[in-house]
Structure 1
Amino acid sequence: MTRAGGTSADRRRGSVRVRGGSLQVRVFAGVDPVTARDRYLSETVRGTDRAARREADKVLARLQAQVDGQRSAQSTVSLEYAINEWLSTVEIEDSTRDTYVGYVERTIRPALGQVPISRISTRMLETLYAELRRCRARCGGRSFVVHQVEGQHDCDPSGCHPHVCRPMAASTVRQVHAVISGALSAAVRWDWITTNPARGAQRPRQLPPQPDPPSPSDAARLVDGAFAVDDDWGTLVWLVMTTGMRRGEVCALRWSRIDLDTGVVDVRRSYRLRHGVGTEKDTKTHQMRRIALDTETVVLLTEHKDRCAQRLRELGAELADDMYVFSNSRRFEPTTPCSPHSVSSRYRNLARRLGIDTHIHALRHYSATELLTAGVDLRTVAGRLGHGGGGATTLRVYAAWVAATDRQAAEILGSRMPKRPGRS
């Protein structure tokens, strides 16, 4: 062990020095690969007597072995820096990246952004999650005024108001945890830290999905209301209801992907808007699927195709296979798909006029629950919806309806069992 007075090389390797009434053990751990600064591992041993010095020798040896075994943290960069580096390398959808950046800006950076990743602890993360569940502003129970204007002003006309605690939703806290955990897992792979403290952190329990599909009577009213607006809009609502396609998938659908002769639609792409710019991408699960169409749906799509062809002929053009099935509702442009946002908005307005509390994605739930209630097997329903995992997602989301079909299966099996003697 070296103490004050040793060589420069010895002091860089490790030293023990008296600090007040304690001994501080320091071991050189190399140069930080990001900040280019010297890094040290250090621990404090209480006391300065002979027993304390023997304990300091043990600590020194342990820290030196930790450095030699390359088990020490390789970086003291902040959590914010680690998250930014992770976001620049991880392969996720642009929309997901935008969502994560929002969590970083609003929640993670103000709370833990400047904390070195080597100091992030499981308890620190669990404390943050608990604070967010009490109040997303992490007010700590304080009372204050939320000012709408900076500088000197009169609060009443400026719209300033007292702070009211609003707990962050459990699902949002789980998303915040996913961002932190993803960045810290990358930091472990990059040898910046040795373990991921987020891995063992408890976060809010994930509540089971609670799909709320429209009733059959409401579904019929919605379809009738859509056709009352115009046939194109009614056909779109009907197709989503009977196939369970996502709104982005139906917007990206082209005539080349519909075989009216065999009654099959080929779902391969999805259309999305990001910052006002529309682009096509893979489906949510990055898998194509083929959905069988019933006879009535084939008839409606055939009539819709004839209408589109007639409109194009009036414009001096011909219908092409690469044109979109559903185009902008305000003007007929089959080379430009419907906006997913406008589809949701138009459907919401339709439901509001009919006095039905629902949204466009609930039609997907309606398709699934009606099939399950009718006794269609889980794997087939999962295939039509484009769920991954061989039906695991379908089972998790629609567990209540699967249980209902299980009851039907039990009754069917019971009715087929041989009658016991003496029973009619």
Structure 2
Amino acid sequence: MAESADQRRRRGSVRQRGNSLQVRVFSGVDPVTGKDVYLTETVKGADKAAQRAADKVMTRLLSQVDQQRSATSSVSFGYVLDEWLRTAELDEGTREMYRGYIKRNIRPVLGAEPVRKVSTRMLEALYAELRRCRARCDGKPFVEHRAEGEHDCKDEKCKPHTCKPLAASTVRQLHSIMSGALSAAVRWEWIDTNPARIAKRPKQPQPQPTPPSPAEAARLFDAAYEADHDWGTLVWLVMTTGIRRGEVCALTWSRIDLDEGIIEVRSSYVLRNGVGRVKDTKTHQMRRIALDTETVVLLREHKERCAQRLTQNGAEFTEDMYVFSGVRNVDPTQPYSPHAVSSRYKDMAERLGIDTHIHALRHYSATELLTAGIDLRTVAGRLGHGGGGATTLRVYAAWVAASDRKAAEILGSRMPKRDQRRQGN
């Protein structure tokens, strides 16, 4: 049955605004804000010809809305997310992290929405809401109850809600998840285009690395080596190579060539829910890092200590054993826990009155190399950064600039002096 003019007018309207006509058609309710959504278009003029043009625009917009509502696929966005998670090539730890983001931040808002109706504006509205308050509250004060049903708020320590924005980096991660799922929906021919592709996401925060100073680094190593030679060797190795915490924990003797002064970084050790496993490096790439003479000496001494301990305990040393295996070093077939490394280093730094963490030693290695004039690609290779140095440049831009200044001074010192040029003339 054809829709009457009155029915069409109830779903949309034409109103005069100055010397033009604005066509508005009701498109539905925004799941993020709860507000009515309208498609609008402006027609210049206000005469009869403009009225006819406005009627044509309304017919087109109504048809657009009807196509959204009667899409051939009624697949929900939540279903798309589930299918994408199930089929995407993701590390298991990453997959678990994405499940958490989807459960907390995406599914409650857009999960039930038909995927064909998910728009760029919906995504940007969600990003804005989360940047204002991660709970997406309405701005009115309320109490966050820690228990359901009848309870004593004082005993349960219920607190008034305080808006806490979601970090820009986290919102960018949510955008990446939804964009990946929507791209899959395009490939599966459930939707025609990916609305996340043009959605404006929060700006990527500029990294602010805070490496310890050379004097602080010296104090940290001295304290570590004095407490335990094995622990001191671990701190020194991270300091001089810039390898990641999980990578140093996963390092085995078979990956160290002390004669050539080379270590191969092929894997990383991670703990999730108390269960540890060895996985690929963060960038899924193997890299070889050259060692300086002092580091080779420390590792040789450390290897001898490990072999002696095993001999005393009636065991045999093998190259497949882990280089670092914890405080007591009782079982070299088990790696050092990454969490234990971070905790032990933090405690040591606090005793020294230095505000730092284990990852800052990676920053120390990078910034010292750049300040010394080592080229960006070499530094990126030692750190295991992808993109040929783009990540290194973004994180350590200030130190790259300092290195560039040093390069300029070196070049300037090699140029003929002005008085020499005058004599030549």
TM-score normalised by structure 1 residue count: 0.84
* Aligned AA (1:205): K
Larger deviation, residues 363-372 vs 328-337? 328-337
Aligned residue in 2 for 1:377:
375
* Range with greater deviation from structure 2 (244-253 or 324-333): 324-333
- Distance of 1:364 and 1:192 partners within structure 2: 45
- The residue that corresponds to 1:190 in the other structure is 188
Q: Show CA shifts across 1:38-97 (max 9, x none).
A: xxxxx9xxxxxxx89x9599869x88xx99xxxx95522211111111111111122211
Q: Which residue of 2 aligns with 1:30?
A: none
Displacement of 1:157:
2.4
Deviation at 1:22, TM superposition (A): 2.6
Match in the other structure for 2:322: 324
Task: Judge conservation of contact 1:243–1:367 (CA < 8 Å) in 2.
Answer: yes
The equivalent of 1:145 in structure 2 is 143
Give, in whole Å, the separation in 1 of the partners of 2:4 and 2:189.
Answer: 32
1:262-297 superposed Cα distances (whole Å, 9 cap, x missing partner): 111111111112222221122111111111111111
Equivalent of 2:163 in 148, 162, 165: 165
1:94 maps to which residue? Answer: 92
Does 2:233 correspond to 1:247? no
Alignment of 1:335-414 (within 5 A): 335-414=333-412
Structure 2: gaps (5+ residues): 12-38, 40-51
| Aligned-partner SS, 2:209 | coil
Shift of 1:328: 2.6
Cα deviation for residue 154 of structure 1 reads: 2.5
Which AA in structure 2 matches 1:240?
V
Structure 1 residues 418 and 124, CA gap change in structure 2 (3 angstroms): same
Aligned to 1:40: none
Cross-structure match for 2:125: 127
The counterpart of 1:200, out of the listed 173, 191, 198, is 198
Structure 2 CA distance, aligned partners of 1:333 and 1:134? 49
Within 2, Cα distance between the matches of 1:330 and 1:308? 11
Q: C-alpha separation between the residues in 2 aligned to 1:338 and 1:245? A: 15
| Aligned ranges 1:60-139 → 2 under 5 Å | 74-139=72-137
Q: Is the 8 A contact 1:17 1:23 kept in 2?
A: no
SS at match of 1:208: coil
* Structure 1 residue 236, shift from structure 2 partner: 0.3
Q: How many residues align?
A: 379
Question: 1:22 aligns to what?
Answer: 8
Q: Taking every aligned residue pair, what percent have the same amino acid on both sides?
A: 68
* Offset at residue 21 of structure 1 (A): 3.0
What whole-Å deviation, never above 9, does each CA across 1:223-251 have from its counterpart, x for those lacking one? Answer: 01111210000000000000111111111
Cα shift at 1:140: 2.0
Q: SS at 1:273's partner residue?
A: strand
Q: 1:365 & 1:194 partners in 2: Cα distance?
A: 44
Distance 1:381 1:254 in 2: 23
The correspondence for 1:219, drawn from 217, 220, 224, is 217
Between the aligned partners of 1:371 and 1:331, the Cα distance in structure 2 is 32
**Structure-1 residue corresponding to 2:21:** none
- Give how far 1:178 is off: 1.2
d(CA) in 1 for partners of 2:219, 2:56: 80
SS of the counterpart of 2:264? strand
What residue in structure 2 maps to residue 310 of structure 1?
Answer: 308
- What residue identity is the alignment partner of 1:273? L
Residue 201 of structure 1 aligns to a residue whose secondary structure is coil
Q: Is the 8 A contact 1:18 1:24 kept in 2?
A: no
Question: Structure 1 CA distance, aligned partners of 2:273 and 2:151?
Answer: 35
Cα RMSD for the two superposed structures: 2.6
Moved more, 267-276 or 245-254: 267-276
Distance in 2 separating the partners of 1:99 and 1:348: 25
CA distance in 2, matches of 1:96, 1:17: 50
Return the alpha-carbon distance in structure 2 between the equivalents of residues 278 and 333 of structure 1.
Answer: 15
**Aligned mates of 1:276, 1:296 — CA distance in 2:** 36
CA distance in 1, matches of 2:343, 2:218: 19
What TM-score do the two structures reach when normalised by structure 2? Answer: 0.84
Deviations 1:374-399 (A, max 9, x none): 11111111111111122121111111
Indicate if the aligned counterparts of 1:255 and 1:324 stay in contact, CA closer than 8 A: yes
Matches of 1:197 and 1:57, distance apart in 2:
23
SS in 2 for 1:219: helix
* Residue 289 of structure 2 is aligned to residue 291 of structure 1: yes
Letter in 2 for 1:163: H
The Cα of 1:17 is off from its aligned counterpart by: 3.7
Letter in structure 1 aligned against 2:282: K
Greater shift in the superposed pair: 116-125 or 150-159 = 150-159
Alpha-carbon deviation of 1:110? 1.4
TM superposition shift of 1:158:
2.2
Matches of 1:157 and 1:316 in 2, distance apart?
56
Structure 1's unaligned 5+ residue stretches are 5-15, 26-42, 44-50
- 1:141 shift after superposition: 0.9
Q: Which residue of 2 aligns with 1:261?
A: 259
3-state SS of 2:190 partner? coil
